[in-house]
Amino acid sequence: MIGHLILRNAMHRPVRTAITVLAVAVEVMLVMIVVGLTSGLMYESAKRTEGIGADIMVQPPSASIFMAFSGAPMPISIGGKLLQLDYVHAVAPVLIQFNSVNGLDIVYGIQPDTFNAVSGGFVVRQGTELVGANDILVDDVYARAKKVKVGQTLHILEHDFRVAGIVEHGKGARLFVFMSTLQEMSGARDKASVFFIKCDRSDHTAAAVDEVHSLLPGYEVRPLKDFLSLMTSSSIPALGAFINVMIAIAVGIGFLVIFLSMYTTIIERTREIGVLKALGASKVYIVEIILSETTLLCLGGVACGIGLSYLVRMISLRIWPSLTILITPKWMLLSTLIAIVGGLLGAAYPAWLASRKDPVEALAYE
């Protein structure tokens, strides 16, 4: 009976219902897109790093797991020492630069022979591998997103590069240049940001990690199979706080909209509340009606919000193909919970107010 009543109430004011549902949907979408975007970027970055095919990654002491933030403080000569370790098959030094011209990109400075030895080489879709000092390789996702063609000039890091080839994505970065060129440009002669190590056998990874630790005490030595699990929002200082702030804003929106909607509703339905009281409806019964209606509106908003999130993701990926927005069941569930809790909090005061209405005054309400 309550179900029927709240459904009829919701349908009685379709515009109010639609606006409330839409507001909750925006709340859910905001949470899912913000979280999906941040985790998607990290996931995608981690997958690309894993895709290099290395077994171990070596960084200087206290370096961030986000390699673009770490500069280039390691002498490249370390690579030679690493190569002499028992279980090491190949070592690829990489200089990483963060480019903010025409978008945000990570550029890998590589030595093609060592990088290919570790990664198994690029799959070239168009053009060739790096040949000249000013050549650049772009991956297919970047090429599609920026409409880049082989042979064109690309202005990156305040430098003009010639696009030598378009390669398959998934090898660490989306842009690759000669390491020597990048070292020259960034004043990091003979320096590298990271060493990728390929072991002679995958099951020797742990032993190789121990060897590197012995050789380079204090350095960050990470097996790449663990890399994906390390790339979480908690790995970036303030990112967790940023996500929490966005969630708080979303909950705030939901709270205020539901509060306003249900407050207006109970004012509008004052006489009906009086009738319910005259019929003997208890305070709990009236609170139950208000909160059930809120839950219904929130669930409608959640359903629309999830749909809206997929729509926004679809549109975003059309506009920016290199973006990754992860929509996961975990966050669908959390967004649902956030929307319902925010909504119920917003409806709590109006529900309490309704339950305390004086029946005689309520029945006389015009």
Partner 1 sequence: MQNATKMILSAPVCSLVREPALEPILKTENLWKVYRTGKVDVPALRGINVEIFPGEFVSVMGPSGCGKSTFLHVIGGLAQATKGHVLLDGNDLTGMTDAARTLLRRHKVGFVFQKFNLLPTLDAYHNIALAQHIHGDGFDPHRFEVVTKLLGLSDRLHHKPSELSGGEQQRVALARAIISEPKIVLADEPTGNLDTKTSETVLALLRQLNKELGQTIVMITHNPEAATYGNRVLHMRDGIVVDGPAVH
Taking Cα atoms as reference points, which of 58, 66, 136, 47 lies closest to residue 92? Answer: 58
Shortest distance, position 240 Cβ to partner 1, whole Å? 45
282 near partner 1 (CB under 8 A):
yes
318 binds partner 1 (CB under 8 A): no
Whichever of 99 and 292 has its CB closer to partner 1, that residue is 292
280 binds partner 1 (CB under 8 A): yes
Give least dist CB 335 to partner 1, A: 30
- Binding residue (CB under 8 A) for partner 1 from 131, 241, 267, 278: 278
Residue 363 found at the interface with partner 1 (CB under 8 A): yes
Is there binding between residue 319 and partner 1 (CB under 8 A)?
A: no
Q: Which is nearer to partner 1, 160 or 358 (CB)?
A: 358
Span of 24-32, 153-161, 266-274, 311-319 interacting with partner 1 by CB under 8 A: 266-274
**Residue 279 contacts partner 1 per CB under 8 A:** yes
Q: How far is the CB of 291 from partner 1 (least distance, A)?
A: 17
Q: Give the span between the Cα atoms of 312 and 299, in whole angstroms.
A: 19
**Mask of contacts with partner 1, 217-256, x by CB under 8 A?**
----------------------------------------
Stretch that binds partner 1, among 16-24, 112-120, 209-217, 357-365 (CB under 8 A): 357-365
Q: Does 162 bind partner 1 (CB under 8 A)?
A: no
- The reply on whether position 365 binds partner 1 by CB under 8 A is no
Does the protein bind partner 1 through residue 16 (CB under 8 A)? no
Q: Is residue 262 part of the contact set for partner 1 (CB under 8 A)?
A: no
Find out whether 37 and 323 touch, Cβ atoms under 8 Å. Answer: yes
Q: Name the one range near partner 1 by CB under 8 A: 9-17, 133-141, 160-168, 301-309.
A: 9-17
Q: Which residues are at the interface with partner 1 (CB under 8 A)? A: 1-2, 4-5, 8-9, 11-12, 271-272, 274-283, 285, 358-360, 363
